[in-house]
Structure 1
Amino acid sequence: MSDLINIQQKLLPDVLAVMQKRYQILRSIYFAEPVGRRTLAGMLGMSERVLRGEVEFLKAQGLIDIASSGMTVTKEGLIVFRDLEGIMNQLSGLHSAENRLAELLQIKKCLVVQGDSDITPWVREEMGRVAVKQLDLALVEKRNVVAVMGGSTMATFADTMPSDFAKGRELLFVPGRGGIGEDLDNQANTICDRIATKTGTKHRVLYVPEQLGEEAYQSLMKEPAIQEGLRLVQSANAIVHGIGDALTMAKRRHTSDEVIEKITRLSAVGEAFGYYFNEQGEVVHKVSTFGLQFEDLAKIPHIIVVAGGTSKAKAIKSYMKSAPENTILVTDEGAANMLLNGSKAHLK
């Protein structure tokens, strides 16, 4: 396939340019549907006049439908879109970027989706879909315990989970941490419940505050029910989690002014599992949390991290300096460009 693409680039470059343009239109309609022509033109940076001709072509081919509510992708259009993904990623340089990024971060694998989730929110949905596929490939055992962390990215991951995900496997989804006091929709408990309900699988809850004072923390750790819940979480053979911006996460957790001053003074840029990392990957602060600890990751065979957007690049880089080598990172062009080039330039 790559040889054919190289030949086409030399002999028929215009054909490939048209194919890329129509793929981008189809992709944008799929993630924003139903979407109007004016909105789509703005998303793509294309004039309505030029877009009108392309949309009419896609409709004539049966790839999209046009209604008063907006444009949507047909079943045939979705098949074409999925079939084109690999080719388009190769043409855009994404495959090469993925390999370079994995080498830079010294982890098992990187997968980069087109776009920047800071600018285009539906890019996060695409990252979620890719993460679901990676989890599906990882769960080769008959019985699996999957730990899922909280956060808005993980909530999107849950939304992209297909109803037939179990495929005959016995799956138990467990929250990687407690979450009382956090936004309900983004709590790990809630996300596990949504995934289990959607896929017809099982889940457990960990109804304890995400963070407590040291005395209360040590007291609760002695409770048999808490210990049993933590043992179950620690037995996970796969985990899916995000990476947070340090200050954003601290404020979201209603952290004291004293601690915020500390992590600011010590230049924390990233956060995961209650650990705050500086740009060198050093832990500059840790909060006592109920659930998986960073050191527990060494025992988990399959680790999938989902984080994207230009604004997350420093957080991703800081965390990956300590991440296990078997980590798979699902990110977007926005973060990948900053990590590889230190700029927003397009990946090449």
Structure 2
Amino acid sequence: MEKLEAQWMMVPEMKALLESRYTILRHVQASGPVGRRKLAEIVGLPEREVRAAVDFLRDTNLIRVEKEGASITTLGFDLLTSLEAMMNDYIGRTTKARRIAEHYGIREVRIVDGDSDHSESTKLLIGEQAAHALERLATSEQQIVAITGGTSVATVPQFLSGHSLVQNYLFIAARGGMGDAIPLQANSIVSTFAKKGNASYRVFFYPDELSEKAHEVLQNEKEAKEMMALYEKTDIVIHGIGVAEKLVKWRNSSDQVKEKIKQLEAKSEAFGYYFDANGDVVHRIRTVGIQLEHLKEVPNIFALAGGKKKAEAILSYLNIAPPQTVLITDEGAANEMMKQIQFK
């Protein structure tokens, strides 16, 4: 028996207190500056308990509390970094992550605290994990990073720290796009990545849901051919996983497509492909972008998705996810995924 486990058996309240303070510190890091009341809502703890924890963290110089709210200090950040592996082990995230990764044959699963369905802060923690992973892969050589749209991917750029090697990345839109919800489209997100990392980027304007004839014409245009050449040389992909039924509505797809998605029981969407529960492609939109065959050659792939409601979609996509995939998700999704996996 390890020394720490023995201590927790003798003083079990110590473990609960550590988990509580650790969770609060993690969310201060992601959401700060943040007020006590808002923080209590984020972590789902009584305001009195959060107030006591904030006072302790402030007195130990792990956070600073100002008029705008609580923010993490350098000491607090260093402490979180040193505790992360241990806390993931004892909270059980490491075991869950390993089981999911092994079940689907992917490289790794990383699980952050909370449920994105109920906490915007949890979604930020997913973005933070992806940003740190991206910075660790930066080298002195130029690498191409393909980015998709979506709310989870959109959280990543704010956590780029200005690592000098990030400027060597060329960020490109993983697929063409235009129309509504511009801030969540790949073109907009790519520019944000580049601005924060002082790097280069390439956008790609190309309509969704083209007719077959129009697609044949446009994919032979110079810009489309140039983008396809970049996709074949992509080093890193960062993408989201969508719920199929929501994506067809967001794209204003035709009634015929919506009915097809419903009849064929599509569960997830990624890169313009719609997959059923087994990971079989049941529909794809006509557009120029990263294709499934491209993914086989990409060395590093990060799939970002969280929330209990998205668990089914994530599992659907994992059936076809390339082995070099790293899934970054949250406890809400992971717990539901574990339940579903156990019945297979």
TM-score w.r.t. structure 2 length? 0.92
CA distance 1:8–1:123, shift in 2 (3 Å): same
Separation (CA, whole Å) in 2 of partners of 1:189 and 1:142: 23
Separation (CA, whole Å) in 1 of partners of 2:245 and 2:315: 16
Q: State the 1:141 CA deviation.
A: 6.8
Residue 294 (structure 1) aligns with: 292
CA distance 1:49–1:254, shift in 2 (3 Å): closer
Q: Which amino acid aligns with 1:211?
A: E
- Equivalent pairs, count: 341
Q: Which moved more, 1:287-296 or 1:82-91?
A: 82-91
Q: State the 1:30 CA deviation.
A: 2.8
Q: State the 1:50 CA deviation.
A: 3.5
Map 1:138-149 to 2 at 5 A.
138-139=137-138, 142-149=141-148
Equivalent residue for 1:264, pick from 249, 262, 265? 262
Residue 184 (structure 1) aligns with: 182
Residue 152 (structure 2) aligns with: 153
Residues 35-71 of structure 1: per-residue CA shift (max 9 Å, x gap): 3333333434433333333322222212222333332
Q: State the 1:165 CA deviation.
A: 5.4
Query: What's the secondary structure of 1:212's corresponding residue?
Result: coil
Separation (CA, whole Å) in 1 of partners of 2:142 and 2:59: 47
Q: Which moved more, 1:90-99 or 1:36-45?
A: 36-45
Unaligned 5+ residue runs, structure 1?
344-348
Map 1:167-206 to 2 at 5 A.
170-206=168-204
Residue 221 (structure 2) aligns with: 223
CA distance 1:335–1:217, shift in 2 (3 Å): same
TM-score w.r.t. structure 1 length? 0.91
Q: Which moved more, 1:313-322 or 1:49-58?
A: 49-58
Separation (CA, whole Å) in 2 of partners of 1:132 and 1:53: 31
Q: Which moved more, 1:41-50 or 1:112-121?
A: 41-50
Q: State the 1:189 CA deviation.
A: 1.5
CA distance 1:24–1:207, shift in 2 (3 Å): same
CA distance 1:129–1:28, shift in 2 (3 Å): closer
Residue 248 (structure 1) aligns with: 246
Residue 307 (structure 1) aligns with: 305
Is 1:135–1:304's contact at 8 Å kept on the other side of the alignment? Answer: no
Map 1:201-216 to 2 at 5 A.
201-216=199-214
Query: What's the secondary structure of 1:303's corresponding residue?
Result: strand
Is 1:8–1:16's contact at 8 Å kept on the other side of the alignment? Answer: no
Q: State the 1:147 CA deviation.
A: 0.8
Query: What's the secondary structure of 1:117's corresponding residue?
Result: coil
Q: State the 1:16 CA deviation.
A: 2.6
Unaligned 5+ residue runs, structure 2?
none
Equivalent residue for 1:335, pick from 325, 333, 336? 333
Task: Give RMSD over aligned pairs.
Answer: 2.1
